[in-house]
Structure 1
Amino acid sequence: MADQPTVANKRNRKPRPSRARGLRTTTGCLTCRKRRIKCDETKPRCGPCVKSAKECEVSAGANNQDEARSTESNATQRSVVSTTASFRSPITRQSITSDVDPLLFANTPELRFDLSPLTLTTSLPSPNSAPFQWYDLLAEDAISNIHKHNLGFDELCLSRRQSPVPETPELNPLIDAQLGTDNRILSTEIPVAPWKSADRILLNDNELILLQHYVEVVGPMLDLFDPLRHFAIVIPRLAVHNVGLLKSLLAVSARHMALHRDTLSRSAESSLDAHSPGPPMLDGVPEVNGLNRLSHIATQYYYETLQYLGQNLLYPSYSRSSEIIATTILISTYEMFDSEGSYSNGAWERHLRGVFWIQRSQDNNGESKDGIRRAVWWAWVRQDIWVAFREGRRVLTIWHPKRRLSDLTPDELATRVVYIAARCVDFATNDKSYDLSIRIEQGDRLLQALDDWHRILPSSFQPIYALPPPDSELFSPIWIHPPSHAAAIQMFHFARIIVLINQPCMGGTGVFRQRQRLLDESVYYICGIAMMHQGKELLSAFVNPQALYAAGLCVQSPVKQSAILELLEKTLNVTRFPPKTLLRDLENHWRNET
């Protein structure tokens, strides 16, 4: 009792701040402890110090704890390699080290993003009505185009049946006579559903050409982030048993061939014309109703797909099937190839919302156990990211991942950055009337999520080949293999650019210079990867143009602007989409910035 302080001593002693105000004795940086605010212990600089532009001082005790934790997890750390460990880029980021503790990623920011896109503020269709509302969007725009362009298709075929047809295991009457010169079957199995054929649908020569083009060219583009290659391997096998899916596949294949028609052999195109669906093509006639021949073939299959949907959506099993999920993304891809740059008033943007309704009604997401549903979801998100970025709206997805970065395989890490990029597009297009401190905090969380992702990458994301930076302001080729990992690095830098150019900066000259160094690094990587791939392959057709466009948004040097413009034009000459209006838009942006 003698050692207890007296009442007088208690009165003279200053009141002790409560722990609720951030007093911590063994953790947190010294700066936050002196300021008596809560430290989030982010390394190398904590969030409060970054926000207030103060020096982040770490105590020796904290360093000792980090060293002890590093020793305990040393075996795990050796398997994690930094992306920049073996390649010297023009910028060395202090936050990227070769030894990364996977425990740091137990609760990374991308698992805690706000999930409140515009789609949550409006009424969503019920799960049962979502496919019908999506189809009504398609049919309404299709009928409008029939009238506008005098396409000659029967609009009555696009109306839905008024009552459901019972699902009886009868022989399928819905095998289209145009798919196959006759309706001979290859087996006598009883179909499991009236909208699905148990027998493979026979194809004529033209349809076989289109199917092969899809499997060899279009499917691999959609499969860029999918090691199981569902679009190139699984979906064609489903399509030869379902008329609607098959016709949507043929439509997107013909539309892609139309984009590249000047590189096709004349014999291939003439063979397609000889037995194409719809009105016969005449030799020497370059266009039909304003469309080139391949475009007309694609349009015919597109309208026949809609006709099939109108006749079969009322089968409950079909409206919940993998076939309709695959059909929706193929229709969306057809419309992407056919968009012609009209994003504001085009059908593609509105129809992506309809695809979201169906995905949501079936609870499909990036971690679905069913491979087709998972692959379709990622393909849809990649399309929606680009439209949202160009349209200045938020992305449509309301899903967020459950798995931690440390639990993901390298291929899953490649898809995770697509999700983070979607949240970055949300930030860039979100309401900018928020308090500046809130905007800065939101941007910091996204940059931290990107940095966490970048730090945990294995060696397969490192360049195999890269020339040293040139003395001039031009760029050097960077080769990363496999292509999905190269695309993931480009997506990472695309996302970082759009956060940095939309985040307010209140940290003074030092913070501004650091941001500019990060922007320069992102431009360097995007252009270097594009130089290596843009003239040789179509796999990165979804990623290269949008990444190059974003790189152009943050470049002021006329020399670099010309180099990016040349790279983007070469890329568009290879991919044939998005439209070349991107070049004009980028030039207008530079002109307005001066």
Structure 2
Amino acid sequence: METLQTAPSTSKPRKPRPSRARGLRTTTGCLTCRKRRVKCDEKKPRCGQCSRSERECVYAPASAAGTLSIRTSGGGEIDPTIAPPGSNKINTNQQAALSTLISPTSAGGSISTRASFGGDIDPFLISDSPELRLDLSPLTLTASVPSPNSAPYEWYDLLAEDAINNIRKHNLGFDSNFLSRRQSHVAEAQSSNGAPSPTREKSEGPSLEPWQSLEPLRMKEDEMNLFQYFITTIAPILDLFDPCRQFSHAVPRLAVYNVGLLKSLLACTARYTELYPNINQQQNDPIVQTPGSNNNRQAYRDTSARCTGVATQYYYETLQYLSQNLLYPSYTKSREILATAALISTYEMFDASSKAGDGGWERHLRGIFWIQRSQDNDGEKNDALRRAVWWSWLRQDIWAAFREGRRVLTIWRPKKRLMDLNSDELATRILYICARCVDFAAKEKKYDVSIRTSQGEKLLQALDDWWQILPPSFRPIYKADSVESGMFSPIWIHPPSYAAAIQMFHFARTIVLMNQPSLGGILEYRQRQRLLDESVETVCGIAMAHQGKDLPSAFVNFQALYAAGLSVQIPDRQAAILQLLGDTLDVTKFPPKTLLDDLVDYWRAVP
């Protein structure tokens, strides 16, 4: 930075002050100091500011540092007219960097980037965001993980063992012998090494696997009603973050040609309907809240009255199908088994509140991690269905891990940078960052204060980077100027997936702020409390606006409301959050309302 000295009164007039846009802007300091807007002494490999604050010190590439400045909507500045000394135009490296940072030139000739939701953006820092380098979960890395070939069997054995125990414990009346696998690991290994595997007679039609049906499976009337209800009500819950709507579109098409997937779909749907035992008397009929479902409303009500016990029947028939078809290597690598695993997990999530649930859902999430890992599945797969299954599983594991005080199971790390993501991908990326925040909040805190503080800062930086790069589509469409009723102002964001992403952001930030050690000082306390209050206002505002209108969003709202409640100390606000959370649980029917008691017990325990 240029130094300005005050000349004696007898000297020549002082040289004019350089423009703030050029002369006073540092272009060679480290990216961390530029982001924090503090003076950098430019020492390498680590500057003095970063050394004192124990921050990661990152410098821009030589070809980029000090050469680019583009005016952005958020107030940041990159000027493509600045060329290296001795040159009258931008060099090749600069042009390549510009092409990744700017959008096409408008008719007026100005250059602009994607509009910023959160404020100033340093493109070089965003491209190297710490969320790509967050620590993986040691819980998974150190745990015993089955080999890819045995993972499907380990997953099934986990399901079958708990199912058999439940049959005996609750006298369910099923023959547990049907859950025994038909082939050993040795036989499977022989089949995968070239030995003939079971096949059916070839037909003249398209080539199909032996576990696929030649014709669409026939369904009874009650089954068809459940099938339609899955499409209109259950699938949108799973599809909330998926613009391709794979559970609404692809899964039903696959299910009518695969018995196991169809049975799991019916089991999941029937189990959810059992959560509404008095639906004819309820005013908040979930069918009314779901577009396009009024036509089969009465048929659904007739079916729901007969659903008690049906869900369990379909669930055990799904397990029986798995026991007979895991012998096909092609099935263990199929999209169908992934979708079936996702629906079984959703069934068990809904079943977690029942007496026969016995905590199987939380345990079996690990098995789904195994089977996905055996197929090398993750959140950036080209196959839309495989990608949708992964994100659906992660959403469940985030909540289960948070409630259990453990780390999430995933060991995947994204490869795409924030600046390379479109709006829908940004919505799902916050789920990954949130998973790492749940890791930070896990009970196994064995680190010293300095390490914990540093980890918390890295997570907060990752959250801030995500927030800063959000496009205007994540902004509220409506926000009440004043509180009309209650204690919070409604905030409406559309589409619902973007509202859910904002909820997950505040969920993640809240649990990091509450678990990060405090170094003391009134300023730090006030800053932390300001952020927590801001999150509470936003979370409650969004929940109010979407209350009872959007069932899929409610499955995110209850998580954010619960976390927000943990940070509130004022009794009036606690009562308002408790009411909001209770209303949301009336919509979702999951988790059970004992969650309200947990929140009250937490408030009582806080000194």
Bigger shift: residues 64-73 or 292-301? 64-73
Q: Compared with structure 1, are the counterparts of its residues 369 and 303 closer, same or farther at alpha carbon in structure 2 (3 Å cutoff)?
A: same
Compared CA separation, residues 250 and 518, structure 1 to 2 (3 A): same
1:200 to 207, 211, 216: 216
Q: Does 1:70 align with 2:100?
A: no
Secondary structure of the structure 1 residue equivalent to 2:553: coil
Q: Out of 87, 111, 135, which is 2:156 matched to?
A: 135
Cα offset for 1:35?
Answer: 10
Quickly say closer, same or farther: Cα 1:237–1:410, change in 2 above 3 A: same
Instruction: Please point out which of 115, 129, 141 is paired with 1:81.
Output: 115
* Structure 2 stretches lacking a partner, 5+ long: 1-25, 56-64, 72-76, 81-97, 104-110, 282-296
1:91-102 equivalent positions in 2, closer than 5 A: 96-97=118-119, 99-102=120-123
CA contact (8 A) 1:220 1:232 kept: yes
Deviation of the 1:430 alpha carbon: 5.4
Any residues of structure 2 matched to 1:302-341 within 5 Å, and which? 302-340=315-353
Q: CA deviation at 1:51?
A: 6.5
Judge conservation of contact 1:117–1:397 (CA < 8 Å) in 2: no
CA deviations on 1:148-189 (whole Å, 9 max, x unpaired) are 1111111111000035695455259xxxxxxxxxxxxxx983
SS in 2 for 1:546: helix
User: Kindly tell me: are residues 103 and 558 of structure 1, through their superposed partners in 2, closer, same or farther at Cα, counting changes over 3 Å?
Assistant: same
Q: Contact 1:39–1:47 (CA<8 Å) still a contact in 2?
A: yes
Q: Once the two structures are aligned, what percentage of the paired residues are identical?
A: 59
Which secondary structure does the structure 2 equivalent of 1:540 belong to?
A: helix
The alpha-carbon distance between structure 1 residues 49 and 548, as it changes in their structure 2 partners (threshold 3 A), is farther
**Structure 1 consecutive aligned stretches of length 4 or more whose deviation exceeds 4 Å:** 28-32, 34-37, 46-52, 62-69, 73-77, 163-169, 264-267, 341-345
1:404 aligns with 2:414: no
Bigger shift: residues 116-125 or 326-335:
116-125
Which residue does the alignment assign to 1:170? 200
d(CA) in 2 for partners of 1:117 and 1:452? 25
**Structure 2 counterparts to residues 37-116 of structure 1, below 5 A:** 38-39=46-47, 70-72=78-80, 75-76=102-103, 78-83=112-117, 96-97=118-119, 99-116=120-137
**Superposition pairs for residues 509-520 of structure 1, below 5 Å?**
509-520=522-533
Q: Do the aligned partners of residues 122 and 150 (structure 1) sit closer, same or farther apart at CA in structure 2, a change above 3 Å counting?
A: same
For each residue in 1:404-427, what CA deviation from the matched residue of structure 2 results, as whole angstroms up to 9, or x when unmatched? Answer: 001001000000000000000001
- Say yes or no: does 1:588 pair with 2:601: yes
Counterpart for residue 224 of structure 1: 240
Contact 1:325 1:373 in 2 (8 A): yes
Structure-2 residue corresponding to 1:489: 502
The change in CA–CA distance for 1:587 and 1:48 in structure 2 (over 3 A counts) is: farther
Contact kept? 1:145, 1:151, Cα under 8 Å: yes
Map 1:491-530 onto structure 2 (within 5 A): 491-530=504-543
CA distance in 2, matches of 1:129, 1:196: 22
The match for 2:559 among 538, 546, 556 is: 546
Change in CA separation of 1:80 and 1:540 when aligned onto 2, cut-off 3 Å: same
* 1:534 matches 2:550: no
The one-character-per-residue Cα deviations of 1:35-63 (angstroms, maximum 9, x if unpaired) are: 999349xxxxx7667679xxxxxxxxx99
8 Å contact kept, 1:463–1:481: yes
**Cα deviation per residue 1:76-118 (whole Å; 9 max; x = unaligned)?**
48343333xxxxxxxxxxxx42x43433311100100111431
Give the TM-score of the pair, scaled to structure 1: 0.80
Shift of 1:559: 0.8
Q: Aligned-pair distance for 1:435? A: 1.4
The CA deviation string for residues 322-343 of structure 1, in whole angstroms up to 9 with x for no partner, is 0000000100000000101889
Aligned to 1:125: 146
Give the distance between the partners of 1:247 and 1:223, measured in 2 at CA: 20
- Are 2:271 and 1:247 equivalent residues in the alignment? no
Give the one of 258, 262, 265 matched to 2:278.
Answer: 262
The letter of the residue matching 1:414 is: A
SS at 1:70 equivalent? coil
Deviation sequence 1:277-301 (CA, Å, 0-9, x none): xxxxxxxxxxxxxxx8424111100
Match of 2:41 among 28, 33, 45: 33
Q: Is the 8 A contact 2:28 2:42 kept in 1?
A: no
CA deviation digits over 1:307-332, x for unaligned, max 9?
00000001100011000000001000
Alpha-carbon distance in structure 1 between the residues aligned to 2:123 and 2:435: 24
Q: Label 1:446 to 1:121 Cα distance change in 2 as closer, same or farther (>3 A).
A: same
Structure 1 CA distance for aligned equivalents of residues 536 and 489 of structure 2: 11
Q: Please give the alpha-carbon distance, in whole angstroms, between the structure 2 residues aligned to 1:65 and 1:264.
A: 65
Say whether 1:461 aligns with 2:474.
Answer: yes
Structure 1 residues 367, 430: CA separation in 2 closer, same or farther (over 3 Å shift)? farther
- Aligned-CA RMSD value: 2.9
Residue identity in the other structure for 2:246: H
3-state DSSP class of the match of 1:259?
coil
Partners of 1:356 and 1:402 lie apart in 2 by: 19
Counterpart CA distance in 2 for 1:483 and 1:190 is 40
Letter of the structure 1 residue corresponding to residue 353 of structure 2? E
Q: 1:371 to 1:593 in 2, by over 3 A?
A: same
Give the number of the structure with larger relative contact order, counting CA–CA contacts within 8 Å between residues 6 or more apart.
Answer: 1
State the shift of 1:468 in Å.
Answer: 2.2
What does residue range 551-570 of structure 1 map to in structure 2 within 5 Å? Answer: 551-570=564-583
Q: Does the 8 A contact of 1:325 with 1:376 survive in 2? A: yes
Task: Name the CA distance, whole Å, in 1 between partners of 2:355 and 2:415.
Answer: 36
TM-score (norm 2): 0.79
Quote the residue 2:229 is aligned against: 213
C-alpha separation in 1, matches of 2:329 and 2:231: 29
1:137–1:75 distance in 2 versus 1, CA, 3 Å: closer
**Matches of 1:343 and 1:458, distance apart in 2:** 46
Amino acid corresponding to residue 268 of structure 1 in structure 2: A
Q: Secondary structure at the match of 1:127?
A: coil
Question: Aligned pair 1:272/2:306, yes or no?
Answer: no
State the distance in 2 between where 1:404 and 1:64 align.
Answer: 22
- Contact 2:500–2:556 (8 Å) recurs in 1: yes
